[in-house]
Structure 1
Amino acid sequence: MDASLGQAPPKRILIVGAGISGAVLARELAGAGHSVIVQDERRHVAGNCHTAQDPATGIMVHEYGPHIFHTADEEVWAYVTRFAEMMPFRHRVKAMAGGQVYSLPINLHTINQLFGRQMSPQEARAFIAGQCASDIEEPQSFEDQALRFVGEKIYATFLRGYTRKQWGVEPAELPASILKRLPLRFDYDDGYFDHPHQAIPRRGYTEMVKAILAADRVELRLGTAFEGAPPEGVDHLIYTGPLDRYFDRDLGPLGYRTLDFERIEAPCGDVQGIAVMNYCDEETPHTRVTEHRHFAPWAEAAPDRSLCFREYSRDAGPGDTPYYPLRLLNDRKRLSQYVERAKATSGVTFVGRLGTYAYLDMDRAIGRALETARVLNRTWAQGGKAPAFVHDP
């Protein structure tokens, strides 16, 4: 018996979902001496981070939309670098609005270009402060947040139409917390993220997740749907799928947005000169175009061919891939009901982006999975009952 388990016998654990959260939990629990089965209804690992080399062009494609790993968590960074060669990648985004191309996030160049000025950082700060709706003291909605911190013109140019397309509702209906993820800069830095570690695995996320799962006492079953209950002989279930789906959505579905992708092959080595171009005007039906060769400039792809995808956002139906939790008022009420149901269900722990109905960047998903594994191992070693949630939704 593994010493880390103390006096508790090893458990047989089923993990539903072979994405990043499920893979990290499998590795850590197996490392503590437990026997782990990981199953996924898809025929690949890595969930929505799945990457694969396009056979026609040699380009590494992010099959469910681009993912850039970024973190300030040193434990998480050390963890991923155990399993993949992480290639530095500085993510930059441009935005098409009113027939012009701007830099995102909104920075000093964006501000000067939009307002036709040549302001210094100090002048721009004062100018934007004058644009803001100072009467909104505690922003409650996305729209409040935008008007309070960037003002009407920036909001109307870059955020209002794009938000309506992306979320399918009025910005006044969305929580202010969504906009807090978007920085406003008063210098010419056009990097999308501020974290010290920003990278993409050289061989893609799927190979990284395969490496995490390549451990003794881990059995992988792909193309295997979860039937609603763990099979005989399983001591504990870890569920990383949608929380409402576990309960057959009998309280009603939680709201998600999904994405449709339109593939565009081009007979040239560079279509748009940037990995991501956002389309902010509401009249343009797609939200952005991603050119995937730019996500892996080190790869040996065909020099005279490129591959782009137009993205369209819409409400997710029962058979669609859920991407973004809406968390509108009705969703939050329904979520609290599902959480109470989950806490009353023994033998199951819900984790991950879908299991906790939360938008999690990859580093936070890994950090939470590591913490969940520690809590479960400690609880079982002490003879306790595993919680339904280590991190409440």
Structure 2
Amino acid sequence: MMNILIVGAGLSGAVLGRGLAQAGHKITVIDSRSHVAGNCHTERCPDTGVLVHVYGPHIFHTDDVQVWDYVNAHAHFKPYKNSVKSTVDGAVYSLPVNLHTINQFFGKTLRPDEARAFIEQTQADTSITDPQSFEEQALRFVGRDLYEAFFQGYTEKQWGCAPSALPASILKRLPLRFNYDDNYFAHKFQGMPEQGYTAMVESILDHPNIDVHLETPYTPAMAENADHLIWSGPLDAYFDHKLGRLGYRTLDFERFTDTGDWQGCAVMNYGNREVPYTRITEHKHFAPWESHEGTVCYREYARACGPDDIPYYPIRMVEEKTMLGEYEALAAQTEGVSFVGRLGTYRYLDMDVTIREALDLLPQLIARFE
């Protein structure tokens, strides 16, 4: 039996802790926050009863059957379709950009084949053969008008830099559709845990071999009594930022409550750059099977992440990638520590990928410990 210390009670730490506990090891999980589940933490608003995604909305979506079965073993998932809207220049449109968006934006009634030809022949910049930036990717596939309406201002606010400075790969997450499908995701399995993500993670961590300590920041002395350390905190923080700080974007939330239905949908983007927030989320719509008279909304503002802020999105610009390579080399030389998850590997990971990577790492760790 190994004594294993896991730093971070998010998805990576919970899944690895559960698997190692089931293999007979003694697990201690610590987290500096007052709750488990990391940034997908959910809690009931005491005034309205609405289940609130405290650090912003999280919608579970995957094509991975094993991951879907895993989360359903720890929570009852209800079907959920993420249908995003966008307010641009005084009008509301459907996202991702689809046939309805195209017809409404250009004042047309195009069929799918007509819309495809219209975009390619009159909008797309076909002179761009190998898009290198976010901006080039957008101009090549949707053209300048749609790019400026739905992507440029939003992206500048979200990332704090010009879209021409961002890699093209970011836009590949945003599809262009030539039908009326407004489901933001295209995965086979999509849903929300009925009682929230925190209850799900609490279930994963509910094992006699797991001891959870909240409001417990990590100190190096804690690792002295552990046979192995699993680190899901920021990669650079483990090394005391001795090579510099990796860049992140963080989010500020302006929370407000009201009665009834405030905006009629879960997520409303704001594409114009003069609107300071990127979107407004109305949390009662993330659980449409519930009924509440009150409502809880967040205005979401993105900015650079400071030393005391919660990191959300790794920037991964050129300077971060260079520093990341140096930190990864340090991590590879560090014995007795596994670096995992979004923060520990400095990558943007969806929840299902986070769980998949933890499940894949488990047999390797178990074999090593044996």
| Same topology, TM > 0.5 | yes
Residue 379 (1) aligns with residue 345 (2) = no
Query: For the residues of structure 2 that align with 1:233 and 1:97, how far apart are their CA atoms?
Result: 56
Equivalent in the alignment of 1:346: 335
Report 1:266-285 matches (<5 A).
266=258, 268-285=259-276
Equivalent in the alignment of 2:10: 19
Residue 196 (1) aligns with residue 188 (2) = yes
Residue 157 (1) aligns with residue 149 (2) = yes
1:65 CA displacement? 0.2
Q: Is the 8 A contact 1:95 1:278 kept in 2?
A: yes
Equivalent in the alignment of 1:311: 300
Residue 182 (1) aligns with residue 174 (2) = yes
Equivalent in the alignment of 1:263: 255
Residue 173 (1) aligns with residue 162 (2) = no
Query: TM (normalized to structure 1)?
Result: 0.93
Query: For the residues of structure 1 that align with 2:183 and 2:289, how far apart are their CA atoms?
Result: 19
Q: Is the 8 A contact 1:265 1:308 kept in 2?
A: yes
Residue type of the alignment partner of 1:214:
D
Equivalent in the alignment of 1:41: 32
Query: Structure 1: which 5+ residue stretches go unaligned?
Result: 1-9, 382-393
Query: For the residues of structure 2 that align with 1:111 and 1:92, how far apart are their CA atoms?
Result: 16
Query: For the residues of structure 2 that align with 1:228 and 1:174, how far apart are their CA atoms?
Result: 36
Q: 1:365 aligns with which of 331, 342, 354?
A: 354
Query: For the residues of structure 2 that align with 1:211 and 1:72, how far apart are their CA atoms?
Result: 23
Query: For the residues of structure 1 that align with 2:309 and 2:325, how far apart are their CA atoms?
Result: 23
Query: Structure 2: which 5+ residue stretches go unaligned?
Result: none
Corresponding pairs, count? 369
Query: For the residues of structure 2 that align with 1:299 and 1:47, how far apart are their CA atoms?
Result: 24
Query: For the residues of structure 1 that align with 2:312 and 2:282, how far apart are their CA atoms?
Result: 20
Q: Is the 8 A contact 2:223 2:229 kept in 1?
A: no
1:163 CA displacement? 0.3
* Equivalent position SS for 1:231: helix
Residue type of the alignment partner of 2:364:
V
Query: For the residues of structure 1 that align with 2:295 and 2:214, how far apart are their CA atoms?
Result: 31
* Equivalent position SS for 2:52: strand
Query: For the residues of structure 2 that align with 1:125 and 1:229, how far apart are their CA atoms?
Result: 61
Query: For the residues of structure 1 that align with 2:163 and 2:296, how far apart are their CA atoms?
Result: 32
Query: For the residues of structure 1 that align with 2:244 and 2:162, how far apart are their CA atoms?
Result: 22
Equivalent in the alignment of 1:91: 82
Equivalent in the alignment of 1:254: 246
Residue type of the alignment partner of 2:345:
T
Residue type of the alignment partner of 1:376:
L
Residue 29 (1) aligns with residue 20 (2) = yes
Residue type of the alignment partner of 2:162:
E
User: Identity over the aligned pairs, expressed in percent?
Assistant: 57
Equivalent in the alignment of 1:385: none
Residue 291 (1) aligns with residue 290 (2) = no
Query: For the residues of structure 1 that align with 2:236 and 2:221, how far apart are their CA atoms?
Result: 15
Q: 2:51 aligns with which of 50, 55, 60?
A: 60
